[in-house]
Structure 1
Amino acid sequence: MPKAETHFASPERLEKGEIKEQYEKVLSLEHTKEILNSFPIIVVVLNKQRQVVFANDTFVKILGIDEFEDALGQRPGELLNCVNSAILEGGCGTSRNCRYCGVVLTILESQKTGKEQENEARLTTRQQNKIVPLDLHVISKPLLIDKDQFTVVIMMDISTIKRKEYLERTFMHDMINTTWSLSGRIEFFPRDGLNEIQDEYFNRIKIEINKLLDDIQAQRDLLKLDKKELVTEFSEVDSLELIQMIIHTLSTDKTAKGKRIAIAKDSVSLKLKTDERLLRRSLINLLKNALEASTSDEEVIIGCKQFKNDIEFWVQNKAVLSEEVKSQVFQRFFSTKGLGRGLGTYSVRILVEEHLNGQVNFESSEKIGTIFRIILPVEVN
């Protein structure tokens, strides 16, 4: 074929007859067709010229064609109707925009290094005269067949995941900004002339606004935690002041209604280096769990004490965990409270052990009730 213009990848292509031979060579590998067709995601095999010499049934169904042989020799972007693949005669990979395409870059890097490569890609495609954005997770891996070099490319549609992440980020950002604004403006509310009951309700409103802000930030942290994007910020924290702050935060929570929260008498005021926000969130989760497991008029105890170079925070209540609950208490989404729950103790363990350099444990018996402990180093290396 005559050489076409390109601003990035090679435009060179093989003729249809050569492509057909490569297609047969791929199919000559025992069980290759059956294995690749079993994947519920897009799998294609490319030659050195980035032309498709095999595509699995999943891709064929997405393309809406009966026989893939009719599409042999095209490139991934052309088959997906990427708008950039039609800019130059050379097709997919040759336009200026293709220099930033995650699909092309992943394939080229894999061909260059001879190693597996992985990346994300954003494509703008045209389907039935409509612009359709596409987000893909791309994996490219070399494949050698009788000294001929091929590339296996796996593409997973992550458009829904990306859209969800965008909506979550936008929602969290707007909610935090709105709540911060409300928290700041309420300070300018005139309190002169309020009677004692009105003043008490005003203070409760302030507490609830701050609690709402804390809950929103906690949900944002959970999302970041799940994506391994959470960043810790260590500072000096007073252990006893932190406990008092947590009790104040939960004083108006529905889980505390009719119950008592007490600070253990032997608790110590100790300075430690940690991420205050993450530790506070972890202790709030444990204290909430203890309150929810307690009945009216029961007391929940929270405390802290020092052991050599470590400090131990603990929360204790009278309820006893069953053997079934004990065995699953740190499992993700396990809950005794119904559907939609079950991130409390799971998140505590991840936050403490992976981000605060600490440990989490518990014990539960008729003699002591249930105690959850968080053990942290006083100084962080």
Structure 2
Amino acid sequence: MTYLSFMNKNYNPLEQQSNDEILKTRLKIQNTDYIRDIINGLPYITAILNSYRQVIFSNETLLQQLNISSIDEVIGLRPGEVIHCVNSNKEEGGCGASENCKVCGVFLSILQAQKTKGKSQYECRIKAMHDGMEIAFDYLATSNPIIWENEEFIIFSLTDISSEKRRKALEKTFFHDIINKAGSLQGFIQLIQSVSDIETIQKYTHLASDISQELISEILSQRQLIAAENNELAISIERVESISIMSSLIREISNQKISQNIQVIMDEKSTSEYIHTDINLLRRVLLNMLKNAVEASEKGDFVIISGELSNSRYVFKVHNSKFISKDIQLQIFQRSFSTKGMNRGLGTYSMKLFVENYLNGKVHFESNELNGTTFYVELPYFETV
């Protein structure tokens, strides 16, 4: 079900219950032993919400897992505000008011429970701010409606499924891709062993070498992602030239199977500049952008990479002619979201993680039906003599 199917025509995200009413209800729940004991006995983040989605009461697990010292800090807040979701302060109405909230599993779970009067569960991907950094979480949001003393409430819980989602992503993408590439490599080695013609052997050897390089790249990419998420990634800053990076990436992507019948070119207006960055991380990010653009394109399409100085930053751009629908746009950069199927979705997430947490840059995109889609990587530029 979608956001629109839940919406009441009178829904107003700005509407909230008064503090006096919230405190009065909280005291009643706090003084009702069986409710307090049941909620506190649950091993996952749990809160009782009023009909305005505000927290009336929470369990000890919520306070412990979110490092909150007192329940007073969360009373009257909405779930996204409690967990410091990056979208919860975009609009005046807070959690539930931004465009991103329309595809949020937390929000949809609560709305569905309120509408159907039954239990509702949604997986949700949340980016939260902690110590000045964005942290990605995967939760299972569960909402159970109850009536207590003639008032409607929601028993709301969050179960952290991040480890499960990451394990499935490893199994679905990393191990699957590694096995496929290893199988291809084995096949070419067997072909090399079966032929005696020198020219054919050289051809197969070259192809086998390309596959082995891709295999190593896949392994290193996964290792870098794990290190980055654990704040353990070591980077090596060096002086690199922009045009040469883009040219080498065009050669690399053009030799891959996914680029058949797609023309990957560099904008002739691109400017040559020297930037200080980690070339391996930058190449990985830009190659990922190119792969996404190529995979979204059709036979005969162009994918254009470019780079130029803008406001003391060097900006790389990757453009393709296809439009990304609004519901997908709202979920790009979330850890487990992918248009390529279940249990995938590390591409755009890792791009943002590497660039913004390690290269001191910024990643963003634009997409509309008239101009197609452009992804941007902005890096700091320091003029050198």
Q: What TM-score results when the alignment is normalised by the length of structure 1?
A: 0.50
